[in-house]
Structure 1
Amino acid sequence: MGDGSGDGTRESQLVHTLVRLADTLVDTYDVVEVLQTLVENCVSLVDAQAGGIILSDQGRPLEVIASTSEETRLVELIQLSAGGGPCVDCITSGVVVSVPDIATLPDRWPLFRERAEQGGFAAVHAVPLRSRGTILGSLNVFWSAPLRLDPESAAVVQGLADVATISILQERSLRESELAREQLQHALQSRIVIEQAKGVVAFQLDVGVEEAFTLLRDHARSHGERLSDVAARVVARELDV
């Protein structure tokens, strides 16, 4: 996998991705938008079908902060509801959890296995977002066919997980724990508003929630606005996209 087809080799795509993400890490960057962009690029780089990021905010309930599809979000939400699954176990254990063939799982995670198979997923690779011994969440990648991830692809996912951690904390956040907590809390609150806005747009335009999310992102990008700000205005009925 990752044979370098398309617009260039995987190496050049990875460099482009890192440069693009670095450009977004400015004082006013939108954490949700950065993580969404990161997980989308990760999926493309390792020839996966979907991906997502779960965040933990120091004792608060785990939250799905980014996902590439509604099916991915639902698979991750069922794990949060059940209190277990490869992505949740990755966070609680702080180590990589890789499942090459979900169908062969024992009865350890029955709800996850059932929902993943319903969503068309056959393999998953979850990597912890780690900062100085603290686990902030996990980057999770899904495939539609059984797959044992090769070392090079695993390294790509790990590298992007490290970038995700940096995008959450940055150097100043590493020095100021209070700021780190505020950024994480803001990200989680922003995601709630974004989910509400997706529902509003989906209802108003009679479209699926994934298309509604695309419309919200397109509007934010074309107008140079933060995704969370656009979502808040949509929920308040101050904006139609």
Structure 2
Amino acid sequence: MPEQPREERLAAAFVELATTLTGDFDDIHFLRTLSERCVELLDIAAAGVALAVPWDGRAQVTGSDARVRSLERNGVDWGEGPCQDCLRTGNPSEGIALDHPAASAAWPRFTHRARRLGFHSVAATPLRVRDEVVGALSFFLDGPGTPDSGQLRLGRALADFAAIPILQQRELRRQMRLTEQLETALESRILVEQAKGALAQRRRITVDEAFALLRDHARSRRRRISAVAREVLDGTGELSLSEPAEPAEPAEPAD
């Protein structure tokens, strides 16, 4: 069966990547697919991806095969390699032979490991949306030469395409977390207001006095006031709706 023309393979790759954006989107699965298509379309030996994780400070990695996934994990541990440079600077790393002194000077451990894995040269480009870098994509050759300008242009186009859904999913997750936080805060506020009203009514005190009672009880036990309020309403906590009985006065001694 004859091989598809490159243009058709490129169109198919974009369609495949686009279809993964529906349903339960998985960043790493999406980026592994991206790296595999880079190998097919750019005629390279392997491709790796490092995904920036702002809330963790440590990039997640994947790649087209086990060799490059292991190498990119090493790069994260060492803070070395073209992907790590892209994440730090936001600038692409042009193709460089791994036996060149500049590669060993910039990434000594990464370069040594990459050469042992059979790679000869590497380049990388950021996954960027405007000024925000969300990751980096690396391209490896295992034969003479370095990735040429045509390979790099196509690689950058794929990286630019991939960056958009990654950023959109992060914004969606941020909005979902914010909504959950607001819902939790509203629920806590309602519980506290209900407990204040119940305490004020049953103990015949003001609402402000009831709130002070809740607050002081929570502080003394280092608990959230909403948790104390829930227990007051459920009747399961130490602080009850009924006013505690006053201690009995000691009996007067008999004459």
TM range (shorter): 0.5 to 0.7
1:83 is the counterpart of 2:83: no
Quick one: which amino acid aligns to residue 96 of structure 1? P
The match for 2:42 among 40, 46, 69 is 46
Cα distance, 1:51 vs structure 2: 1.1
Which structure has the greater CA radius of gyration? 2
When residues 173 and 111 of structure 1 are mapped into structure 2, their CA distance, relative to the original with a 3 A threshold, is: closer
When residues 46 and 131 of structure 1 are mapped into structure 2, their CA distance, relative to the original with a 3 A threshold, is: same
Cα RMSD (Å) of the superposition?
2.5
Cα distance, 1:169 vs structure 2: 2.4
Say how many residue pairs are matched.
176
1:72 match: 68
What is the distance in 2 between the residues matched to 1:125 and 1:75?
Answer: 14
Normalized against structure 1, the TM-score is what?
Answer: 0.66
The match for 1:17 among 13, 16, 19 is 13
2:88 match: 92
Quick one: which amino acid aligns to residue 108 of structure 2? P
The match for 2:125 among 127, 135, 153 is 127
What is the distance in 1 between the residues matched to 2:177 and 2:152?
Answer: 29
1:37 is the counterpart of 2:33: yes
When residues 71 and 181 of structure 1 are mapped into structure 2, their CA distance, relative to the original with a 3 A threshold, is: farther
Identity %: 32
The match for 2:142 among 125, 141, 144 is 144
Normalized against structure 2, the TM-score is what?
Answer: 0.62
1:103 match: 99
What is the distance in 2 between the residues matched to 1:33 and 1:138?
Answer: 15
Structure 1 residues without counterparts, runs of 5 or longer: 1-5, 183-241
Question: Greater relative contact order (Cα 8 A, min sep 6): structure 1 or 2?
Answer: 1
Quick one: which amino acid aligns to residue 127 of structure 2? L
When residues 113 and 25 of structure 1 are mapped into structure 2, their CA distance, relative to the original with a 3 A threshold, is: same
CA contact (8 A) 1:125 1:140 kept: yes
